[in-house]
Amino acid sequence: MPESDRTQSDRSEQDWKRDLSPNQYKVLREHATEYPGTSPLNDEKRQGVYHCAGCGQPLYASDTKYESGSGWPSFWEPLPGAVETSTDHKLAYPRTEVHCAACHGHLGHVFDDGPQPTGKRYCMNGVAMTFDPAAKSD
């Protein structure tokens, strides 16, 4: 089947391994977490859109990003329909895991200690995202 005719759910694990870096694969496909403070996206301050590194789905607008002090890029709200959540029981307490709505790649977790207006902290693995800066207007 030509790549252009395949959906994200048709991709094999070999396809994912071929298309992602080893760190992206560990986070997006194996639900790993990158070390805090290691993502260049922590320091990204330009206007633009953050996308899923696995499939390119737009996830977060830069105007919802804030400095949470957590060591991971944090947002108070995703773009409409961009993410889905599930319950993660890997630690001693349940957490809400965040996935890309298109390819279901693991992005990070959401917590109830963020700023208003939502009170949410979408704490994302930077390696699971790419950044597309907005075009400058002259």
Residues belonging to the active site: 123
**What CA–CA distances, in Å, run from 87 to 58, 66, 84, 102, 130?**
23, 24, 11, 18, 25
CA quadruple 95, 26, 128, 58: dihedral, nearest 10? -90
The C-alpha angle with vertex 35 and arms to 12 and 114, in degrees rounded to 5, equals 100
Sequence-distant (≥ 6) Cβ neighbours of residue 37 within 8 angstroms: 71
Question: Is the distance from CB of 63 to CB of 46 less than 8 angstroms?
Answer: no
